[in-house]
Structure 1
Amino acid sequence: MLATRFNKPFDITVERVPDPRVVDPTDVTVEILYSAICGSDLWTFRGIVPHAPGGIGHEFLGRVLDVGAAVTSVRPGDPVIAPFVFSEGDCHQCRSGLQPLCEHAGIWGRDWAGAQAQAIRVPYADATLVPLPWAADELGTELARRLMPLCDVYATGTHGVALAGVAAGDSVVVIGDGAVGISAAAAARRAGAGRVVLLGEQPARLTVAEGFDVETLRVSRDESPVERVRELLGGRLPDRVVECVGMQSAFDTALDVVAPGGGVGYVGVPHGVDPVAPMRLFGRQIRLCGGVAPARHYLPRLVEEVRTGRLDPSPLIDRTLALADAAAGYAAMDTGTALKVLLDTTGGSHGD
C-alpha cells in the first residue's frame, strides 16, 4: 500500500509500505478511503515539533477490512470514522468522556502508524471507531468533506467552546482563523451564543467563517485588538474566549480581551507560551481551562447532525488531492493557499 512519510522538515514523500494486519484480538484493519492534512501536522512539517521519520496524519474514514476475534461493534465492509486519538474504552477517563487521558491513548501518526495512507491497523477498535450510517459505496468526496472535519478540527473547536463555558446569549470571541478557530466560532453559534466574533489575519478565511453566521475582525498578531473588540461589542468585552492558535500572542490576547468574570478555553496546543501568573487570573476572576479534545466523545452526535443535515462543515475543506500529491497539500497549507486539504487515498494498489 501507499503511505505518506515525513522524512525531515519540509520533506514529505509517498512511499510503498507493507499492508497492516490484525495482531491483537481487539484490532481491526481499515481501508482508508479519505484522510486529511491538519493544521497541527504543519508543526511537524515545519520542524517546530520533533517527529521521527515515518508515517504522519491522524484523520481518516474508510471501510473495515478485517477484525480481531474480540471485536463486536463492526464487521468487514462496515464504513467507519475515527477520532484523532485512540483509546481502550474501559477506564474511568474513557467512561467519563475524556479519552485523551486514557493511559493507553495515542495519536495516529505520533504514537501509531500514520493515517495519511491507504490502510491502517486500529487498536481498541470497539472503543475507538464510530460506525457510519451510510453504505461504504456512498462515501464519495462530497460526503467525505462533510465528515472529515469531525475527526479533529470540528471536534476540537466544539471542545474549546465547552471549555470556555459558552452558554446561550453569551458574547464570544474566537482567536485564530484556521480550521479549528472557524469550527469553534461555528460551534459557539450552535451553542446559542448571542454574538460570536472571530479574530484573524487572512481575508479568505474570514470569509469562510462568515459563511457560518459569525462576525469577523481582521487583526494583525502584533496589535492588541481589545479596544476594537470593545467597540464592536458596544462597549463590553466578551463573556467567553476560545483560543485556537497556541502561540504567545494569541494566548496574551485571550487573557487581555475576556471580560472580568469570564472564561477562556484554549485548544491551540501551546508552543513557546510562558507560564501564566496566577494573579493575572485571580484579580479579574478569570476561568482558564484547556486540553486535548476528546473527539470520540463528540463524534457520534456530530455524525448524526451531519446525517440529518443540521451540520455541514464542508467549507473547511477547500482542496482535494490524491494521496500521491500529499507533498503539494502540505505546501499549500504551509503557505496559506489552502485552509484544509482532503486526501483521496483510493488510487493505486494495496499490494506490498
Structure 2
Amino acid sequence: MLATRFNKPFDITVEEVPDPRVVDPTDVTVEILYTAICGSDLWTFRGIVPHAPGGIGHEFMGRVLDIGTDVSSVRPGDAVIAPFVFSEGDCEQCRNGLQPLCERSGIWGKDWAGAQAEAIRVPFADATLVPLPWSADELDTELARRLMPLCDVYATGTHGAVLAGVGPGDTVAVIGDGAVGISAAAAARRMGAGRVVLLGEQPARLAIAEGFDVETLRVSRDESSVARVREVFGGRLPDRVVECVGMQSAFDTALDVAAPGGSVGFVGVPHGVEPIPPMRLFGRQIQVCGGVAPARRYLPGLIDEVRTGGLDPSPLMDRTLALTDAAAGYEAMDTGAALKVLLTTAGGSHGS
C-alpha cells in the first residue's frame, strides 16, 4: 500500500509500505478512503516539533477490512471514522470522556502508524472507531469534506469553547484564524454565545469564518489588540477567550483581552510559551484551562449534526488532492495557499 512519509523538514514523499494486519484481538484494519493534512502536521513539516522519519497524519475515515476476535462494534465493510487519539476505553479517564489522558492512548503518526495512507491497523477498535450512519459506498468527497474536520480540528475547536466556559449570551473572542480557530468560533456560536469575534491575519481565512456567522477582526501578531478588541465589544472586553494557535504572542493576546473575572480556554499546543506568572491571573481573577481535545467524546454528536444538516464544516476543507500529491498539499498549507487539505486514496471518490 501507499503511505506518506516524513523524511526530514520540508521533505515529504509517498512510498510503498507493507499492508497492515490484525495483531491483537481488539484490532481492526481499515481501508482509508479519505485522510487530511492538519495544521499541527506543519509543526513537524517545518522542523519545529521533532519527528523521526516515518508515517505521518492523524485524521482518517474509511471501510473496515478485518477485525480481531474481541471486536464487537464494527464488521468488515462498515464505514467508520476515527478521532486523532486512540484509547483503550475501560480506564477511569476514558469513562469520564477524557480519552487523551488514558495511559494507553496515542496519536496516529506519532505513537502509531501514520494515517496519511491507504490502510491502517487500529488498536482498541471498539473504544476508538465511530461507525458512520452511511455505507462505505456513500462516502464521496462532498461528504468527506463535511466529516473529516470532525476527526480533529472541529472537535478541538469545540473543546476550546467548552474549556473557556462559553454559554448562552456570552461575548467571545477567538485567537487564531486557522481551521481550529474558525471551528472554535463556529462552535461558540452554536453554543449560544451572543457575539463571537475571531482575531486573525489572513483575509481569506477571515472570510471563511464569516461564513459561519462569526465577526472578524484583522490584527497583526506584533501589535497589542486590547484597545481594538475593547472597541469592537462596545467598550468592554469579552467574557470568554479561546486561544487556538499555541505561540507566545497568541497566548499573551488571549490573556490580555479577557475581561476581569473572565476565562480562557486554550487548545493551541504550546510551542515555546513561557510559564504564566500567577499574579497575571490573580489580580484580574482570570480562569485558564487547556488541554488536548477528547475528540472521541464529541464525535457521535457532531456526526449526528452533520447527518441532520445542522452542521456543515466543509468550508474548512478548501483543497482536495490525491494521496500521491501529499507533498503538494503540505506546500499549499505551509505557504497559506490552502487552509486544510483533504487527501483521497485510490479507494476514495475524487469527485464531489
2:42–2:330 Cα contact (<8 Å) kept:
yes
Match of 2:36, as an amino acid? A
Corresponding residue number in structure 1 for 2:307: 307
**Do structure 1's residue 185 and structure 2's residue 193 form an aligned pair?**
no
Aligned equivalents of 1:16 and 1:320: distance in 2?
Answer: 22
Matched, 1:4 2:4: yes
Task: Give the letter for the 1:109 counterpart.
Answer: G
Deviations 1:258-317 (A, max 9, x none): 000000000000000000011111110000000000000000000000000000000000
Ranges in structure 2 where 5+ consecutive residues have no aligned partner = none
Q: How does 1:1-352 map to 2 (within 5 A)?
A: 1-346=1-346
TM-score normalised by L of structure 1:
0.98
TM-score, normalised relative to structure 2: 0.98
Map Cα deviations across residues 186-211 of structure 1 (whole Å, 9 max, x no partner).
Answer: 00000000000000000000000000
State how far apart, in whole Å, the 1-side matches of 2:99 and 2:163 are: 15
Identity %: 86
Q: Are the counterparts in 1 of residues 161 and 184 from structure 2 also a CA contact under 8 Å?
A: yes
What CA deviation, in whole Å up to 9, does each residue of 1:134-193 have, x standing for no partner?
A: 011000000000000000000000000000000100000000000000000000000000
How big is the shift at 1:236? 0.7
Q: Secondary structure at the match of 1:230?
A: helix
CA RMSD of aligned residues (A): 0.7
Contact 1:161 1:188 in 2 (8 A): yes
| 1:62-119 C-alpha deviation (Å, 9 max, x unpaired) | 0000000000000000000000000000000000000000000000000000000000
Q: Tell me, what secondary structure is at the counterpart of 2:288? A: strand
Q: Partners in 1 of 2:173 and 2:286 — Cα distance?
A: 15
Runs of 4+ aligned structure 1 residues displaced above 3 Å come to none
Residues 175, 199 of structure 1: 8 Å contact kept: yes
CA deviations over 1:313-340 (Å, ceiling 9, x no partner)? 0000000000000000000000000000
SS in 2 for 1:62: strand
Name stretches of at least 5 consecutive residues in structure 1 with no aligned partner. none
2 CA distance for matches of 1:193 and 1:282? 26
State the Cα distance separating 1:345 from its structure 2 match: 1.2
**CA offset at residue 347 of structure 1?**
5.8
Between the aligned partners of 1:232 and 1:162, the Cα distance in structure 2 is 23
Q: How many residues align?
A: 348
* Native 8 Å contact 1:323 1:347 kept in 2: no
Aligned equivalents of 1:294, 1:303: Cα separation in 2:
15
Partner-residue secondary structure (3-state), 1:120: strand
Q: Do 2:32 and 2:347's aligned partners in 1 also have CA atoms closer than 8 Å?
A: no
Query: How far did 1:346 drift?
Result: 2.0
In structure 2, distance between residues paired with 1:282 and 1:290: 17
